[in-house]
Amino acid sequence: MDYDLLTTVMRRLSLEAGDKIMEIYNGPDFEVKSKSDDSPVTIADEAADAIISDGLRKVFPDVALVTEEQAASHAVTANTFLIVDPLDGTKEFINRRGDFTVNIAYVVDGVPVRGVVYAPAKGRMFFTDADGVSVEEMGDFAKDTIGELKPIKVTTPDNDALMVVASKSHRDQATDDYINKYNVKDMKSAGSSLKFCLVATGEADIYPRVGRTMEWDTAAGHAVLTGAGGDVVRFDDHTPLRYGKEIFANPFFIAYAPGVTLQKP
């Protein structure tokens, strides 16, 4: 894989998809449909998916592609593949809360090694560079010119005063019960894959997810967190979270900055 090219293409496609998403977000009311699993989908999800999928297939025709919005791609069996969630946080989008992201990642041998997370309504862009180091781009996000880059790195956590981030739309008692095992200084909520990025930038120390997710929800954020020195492990046994699993479903997991003393479930 040409990682310089991959970085450029993933970044550009995320911006193009973000423009389309924001056009719909800022427009009149849009129809909300339900998929077979009762999760919501909008024209924005579908339009963003078309932009990203078409762009990736054009440049990387020989790399397997998995995307949330194309059910046929969920039958892919590969350890190395591109994986896309064109609009992560559809509920946030529908309610116009802004905490939604465009996610594109590249998985090699079950490990997300490169990724981009773009939050168009928040004006924040995180990605791994060609060397796998995570950065946040500052500025106006020109399509063909990368702007000022700020390296990001996880914080050194204080286990007596941890900063925790949890899901905004999927917070439940099981999550709170687990968080209560830690000494928490402050808690914040965020939607979509932004939670991974808040750990990656040091704005949080730990993000536990005690709930259903799919690999396209997590791969890009996982890559960004890894490139910032963080880690993601399974909730049950604290082994690395792997990708390319059956139907691309994740177990519960914990994303964190090394130094956090992980508690058992």
Binding site, by residue number, is: 68, 85, 87-90, 217
Q: Which two three-digit tokens encode residue 81?
A: 């593949």
Nearby residues of 240 by Cβ (< 8 Å), 6 or more positions away: 111, 231, 232, 233, 234
- What DSSP character marks residue 240? B
> Which H or E element spans position 5?
helix 3-25
Q: Residues within the annotated binding site for Mg(2+)?
A: 68, 85, 87-88, 217
- Distance of alpha carbon 171 from alpha carbon 173, whole angstroms: 7
Q: Give which of 6, 135, 152 is closest to 83, Cα–Cα.
A: 6
Specify the residue for token string 């989908």: 41
Q: Residues within the annotated binding site for substrate?
A: 68, 87-90, 217
Nearby residues of 211 by Cβ (< 8 Å), 6 or more positions away: 167, 170, 172, 174, 175, 252
